[in-house]
Chain A
């Protein structure tokens, strides 16, 4: 059962553009994480959010946890080719481990 749905599934944009990736669920999460995965490598943790409404910034990346802790978004400002990769959200709905979303594959064209 896939608890987390991400959209869009694929995204191809020009360098310098802004974008937002969404992670949605019908379940409430005690915590939610975002990872980025590059081809041939394992996912790398970007951020953890635990409080409803929480906003965290990591350079050009802004992460938001929904007020009801059922959804999250990742906004990238002025995307660069180095941002290319598979973005995964992962949530803990009380099972004490993370279940991963379907993923958003981002390509930033120079």
Chain B
């Protein structure tokens, strides 16, 4: 157990739908990062939150959004889902906002859009 909790572990939904993925960071970590992993694109950085504030955006589509709540858990919202959104979505946490510390990853949410 890495200490980073992601729910749900698996999600199957239809095209056009909206889903919410949840992440609880490791105790004491203030940063949360979201990544998308697919076979053809590898691990792609989506977005970074630090202590409730958005710090950086990567290759995140406009149909996707995220937030980090006061208790530091984070949610990634995916809307108007397309078949190509099927992927593993990982959350990682870190103590600080920079890269002085390594990332601790959760076990991921496998999203299948049918």
Q: Are A96 and B92 touching (Cβ within 8 A)?
A: no
Q: Are A31 and B42 touching (Cβ within 8 A)?
A: no
Whether a CB of chain B sits under 8 angstroms from the CB of A26 is: no
Number of interface residues of B (CB under 8 A): 25
Whether a CB of chain B sits under 8 angstroms from the CB of A45 is: yes
- Among A14-22, A51-59, A98-106, the one that faces the other chain is A98-106
Interface residues on A, range: 20 to 34
Instruction: Name B's A-contacting residues (CB within 8 A).
Output: 2, 4, 33, 35, 42-45, 48, 55-56, 58, 90, 92, 97-100, 102-108
Q: Are A42 and B4 touching (Cβ within 8 A)?
A: yes
Neighbouring A residues of B58 by C-beta, 8 Å: 97, 99
Interface Cβ pair total, 8 Å cutoff: 60
Q: Are A98 and B105 touching (Cβ within 8 A)?
A: no
**Which of B48, B106, B108 is A97 in contact with, Cβ under 8 Å?**
B48
The distance from the CB of A80 to the nearest CB of chain B, in whole angstroms, is: 23
- Which residue of chain A lies nearest to B9 when distances are taken between CB atoms in the complex? A40
Indicate whether A96 sits within 8 Å of B56 (C-beta atoms), given known contacts A31-B99, A45-B102. yes
Q: Are B103 and A45 touching (Cβ within 8 A)?
A: yes
Indicate whether A103 sits within 8 Å of B99 (C-beta atoms), given known contacts A42-B106, A97-B33, A97-B56. no
Q: For the complex, what is the distance from the CA of A41 to the CA of B92, rounded to whole Å? A: 12
Residue from A92, A97, A103 with most neighbouring chain B CB atoms (10 Å): A97
